[in-house]
Structure formats: structure tokens, C-alpha cells
Structure 1
Amino acid sequence: MPVLADLLSALRSSRVEVVDLTAPLSASTPVLQLPPPFANTTGFRLEEISRYDDRGPRWYWNDIHTGEHVGTHVDAPNHWLSGKDGPSVDQIPLRTLIGPAAVLDMSARVADDPDFLLGIDDVREWEREHGPLPEGGWLLYRTGWDARSGDQDSFLNVSDGASHTPGVSPECAQWLAEEAPIAGFGVETVGTDAGRAAELEPIFPCHDRLLGAGKCGLTQLRNLAQLPPTGALLVVSPLPIVGGSGSPARVYAFVERA
């Protein structure tokens, strides 16, 4: 097919670059911490089965232990009460997992205010400059938070008993869910909602509104600074866990370079 041949040629000649947006997955990967009495997910752990030894002389392999929502991961609609009758992660249409990306950069605002909440006016201002959000695509919310992702304490940024990380206002979450043409919303933080989202109404508005509308979440992204505001093609590859509420994912973008 000419289109695929053209893509392969562009990749070989570096006219199209593949940008990895995935955080490495290891025992040190930051993990969301919910306060008591709520249950928490396990972190990531490798358990060695054999490594060229008497347990298996010619092969190396491991068991993996991890929660669905660890590291760079997808939130399926059924992850939240509002979307409980929606698709599980294995049921997300492939056309949702490959789509155009709009990158909205609010890193300067977040640098001054880690509790910053994205508003409808912020998105509309972006649209006035770059055009409408992509139909069936993804809105990627750049905050600069990926610079903290190597350290759990800095990444979760807890002080005075609360996590201070950026997120989205309830009004904007509802607008993205009901009026924006996107299929999914991605962030650099540990979750799609702000650290103090339990204080908002509704609580955790991104989870409540977007997942309730059948849209997907994508968290702990890296390298959004390497993407243009428009024009990148996003590829999201979760594990098809039957009935799962989410999955760690490899996420990357095709970017055309001059």
C-alpha cells in the first residue's frame, strides 16, 4: 500500500520521528497513594524465574507483579463509577488508541502554581491559535511535571496532608467530556485529576466526567515538550486485559520533521 510504504520511507529517512512518551516501568516508578481507609494498588515488581542457570540454562525470564494503574497507563471508562457500564480496557476500539494529538502547554502556569487547574478559557485560547481540537483525537496536557517523575516524593508533591499537582477544573472536565470532539485526555501527572481533586465538586472531575462519557484517560506521559501543538499522531498500546479497568501502556507519537 503506497501510504504505508511512504510512512516506512519517512521513518527510514528521519522525515518522521518516533517520540517515546512512556515512563520506564520499574520498582521505582511513582505510584498513586490513596489515604486510609481506601485500598491502594501494588507497585511494579519483577520476580526472576531463571537467568541462564540451573532453573533454565539457556533463557532468562521473569514474572511481573503490577497494578493496572501503574506508570504510564490507560484509564478505561469502566475504571470509574460513572463509566461502570462502559468499555473495559480490552474493549477500547483500536481507532481510539491511534489518533491525532493536540498538545496544550501550561507548564509556565504550573511552575508558579502546582495546584493549577486547566479551564475552558485556556482550551479555547489554544483553539484560537491552533484550530479546533482533533475529532477522535487526544488532548495532551503538558505541565512540565514529567521532570519530577524520577522521584516519588517530588512527583506526588505531598505537603500539609495533601498532594499538590495540577489538574482540570470541574467545568473544563465537563466541557471536555460533553462538547470537545476528543476520544481521550492525557497528562504527565500520576492521574488525570489534580492532587486536590477530592476537594472539588464533583470529586475527581476528570475521572467522573470523561470516563462517564466513554472517553479514556492516559497518565504519566513524558517528553510532551518534543511534540508540536498539532500534527503529531499518537499511538497508545495497553495490554488487552479482559475486563480490566486499565493497563500499563507503551505510548509514542509520530512527528513529521522538516
Structure 2
Amino acid sequence: MLSKKNPVASFAEALAGGAVEVVDLTQPLNERTPMIQLPEPFANTPNVKVREISRYDDRGPAWAWNLLEIGEHAGTHFDAPTHWITGREGLDVSEVPPRHLVAPAVVIDKCPECEADPDYVLTVDDVRAFEAEHGPLPEGGWLLLRTGWDARAHDAEAFLNAGSGSPRSPGFDAECARWIAEESPLVGVGVETVGIDAGAAAGFEPPFPVHYYLLGAGKYGVTQLANLAELPPTGALFVVAPLKISGGTGSPVRALALVPRG
């Protein structure tokens, strides 16, 4: 009897041989990581703080470790449905099915548009045009929006881009957010910006529509991604690993992509 080759073994061979590359999509997380800034009277996530516990000294002669103060929604992070009021009866971050954390991804590149207009928002027509060129969106997959915003992540002022008095950064329009939540086969979206909504989304109807529609539909978001330029429009496997925080509304993550090469 002929036996089928173990697909996991085939993948391991492809990884070892360079036919599959692992691309790190995660921004560094440290005390300089930009954090979203909400206006008064709303409470903000504090910047990451790192305090040394011991470092090969009298406090611990053979080991080093640190104490972290960090918000659930800091740096490259995952938004669970319970993060938003519309999803408050949904899953917390510890309950997200693992199959949604390792899934196919498409990358829609709108860098030229975002360079011309930092308030650029993706529309359903944009997604339809992508599908006409590259095929349908993957069932149970992720849409990653490339805007070039990851190049700003080292500079909080440029990244948050709120010098005009209001944040200006790209994202999705309200109808696109509703369509992804209610009509698409996707389980989530990923962005390079500080949040899954556009900077001007407080003024959309409804306000913050990606949060409102996607999290309300039991779907997810990932923010502050990096290196989407290294991914093809289709064919990559997205891997996102939030901490399994009981009751958590989100978590910092290590986000990766598995990309076929050659």
C-alpha cells in the first residue's frame, strides 16, 4: 500500500531547505514603543516599563530576569472580540480557537495611495479589484493591509501623526469594515498602524467601524505589523500568537508569516 507523505514532515523539509521562509511581522516592544493616545477624559495605556529583578548579582547570582508593566494593547498586538462593547459577549483572548491563529493571508498593498493621502481608507471596491486580479479571499483567512506605515514605527510622532490636532493614518472605510465582518470569509484583519481603525475613524459612522463591526461579529484584529513588503499578495500563512490571558481583551503578540520561496 502506498502511504501519503506526512504533510508536517514535508513542511519541515521545505523550511529546512529554504523553500519556505519565516518572516517576522513584529515591531520591537520596548519603552519607546508608540501607544495610542486617547483624548481626555478617557484612560490611556501607559508606555511599557521594564524593571530589573536580578542580573547575575546578589539578587540572583546565576540568572537575569525583569518585571514588565505592559498593557494588553501594546505594540504589535491582538484585539479579541471582548475588547469592544459590540463584542462583549464574545470570546476573550484565551478562548480564540488556535485554527484562527494559523491561517492563510492576503496582502493588499496601498502604499502609493497612503503616501499621497495619510487618511486613505480601503473600500469594498478595492477588495473586489484585488479579488479580480488574485482570486477570492481565503476561507478562514486574514486580510493584511500594507500602507508603508511600519517605516514610521521608530518615531512616535510620525507614527501617531497627530500634529494637526487629530490623528491621521490609513485604514478601512465603514462599509468595508461592515462587509469584512458580515459578508467576507475572513476571520480578521491586520494593519501596520497603531490601531485597526483609521486615525480619523472617531468621526466615521459608526465611530471606529472596524472595532464596531469586526469585533462585534466575533472576528479579530492585529495592529502594528512590520515587513509586509516581504509577503506576496497571496500564498502566505499568517501566524499570530497572543498570550493566553484568562479574560483578556487582547495581548501583545509575536506575528510571523510563512512564505513560499523559489
Match among 65, 71, 78 for residue 74 of structure 1: 78
Greater shift in the superposed pair: 158-167 or 70-79 = 158-167
In 2, the alpha carbon distance for the partners of 1:126 and 1:166 equals 18
RMSD between aligned alpha carbons? 0.7
CA–CA separation in structure 1 for the residues paired with 2:9 and 2:122: 40
In the alignment, does 2:156 pair up with 1:152? yes
- Is 2:21 the counterpart of 1:17? yes
Letter paired with 1:230: T
SS at match of 1:140: strand
- Cα deviation for residue 159 of structure 1 reads 2.3
Q: Secondary structure at the match of 1:251?
A: strand
- 2:113 corresponds to: 109
Deviations 1:200-246 (A, max 9, x none): 10000000000000000000000000000000001110000100000
Q: Distance in 1 between matches of 2:7 and 2:257?
A: 17
- Map Cα deviations across residues 147-168 of structure 1 (whole Å, 9 max, x no partner): 0001100000012210000011
Cross-structure match for 1:225: 229
**Identical aligned pairs, as a percentage?**
58
Alignment of 1:5-44 (within 5 A): 5-44=9-48
* Matched AA of 2:97: P
TM-score by length of 2: 0.97
- 2:86 and 2:46 mapped to 1: Cα distance? 24
User: Could you list the runs of 5+ residues in structure 2 that have no partner in the other structure?
Assistant: none
How far has the Cα of 1:81 moved from its partner? 0.5
SS at match of 2:180: helix
Aligned partners of 1:3, 1:173: CA distance in 2, in Å? Answer: 35
Distance 1:182 1:28 in 2: 33
Q: Paired residue for 2:89?
A: 85
Structure 2 residue aligned with 1:252:
256
**Aligned-residue offset at 1:5:** 1.1
Q: Distance in 2 between matches of 1:160 and 1:203?
A: 20
- How far 1:189 sits from its partner (Å)? 0.2
Equivalent positions of 1:39-50 (< 5 A) are 39-50=43-54
User: Which of 113, 117, 123 is equivalent to 1:119?
Assistant: 123
TM-score by length of 1: 0.99
Asked if 1:202 is matched to 2:236, the reply is no
| Aligned mates of 1:153, 1:181 — CA distance in 2 | 36
Equivalent-residue separation in structure 1 for 2:164 and 2:41 (angstroms): 19
Aligned partner of 1:241 in structure 2 is: 245
Which runs of 5 or more residues in structure 1 are unaligned?
A: none
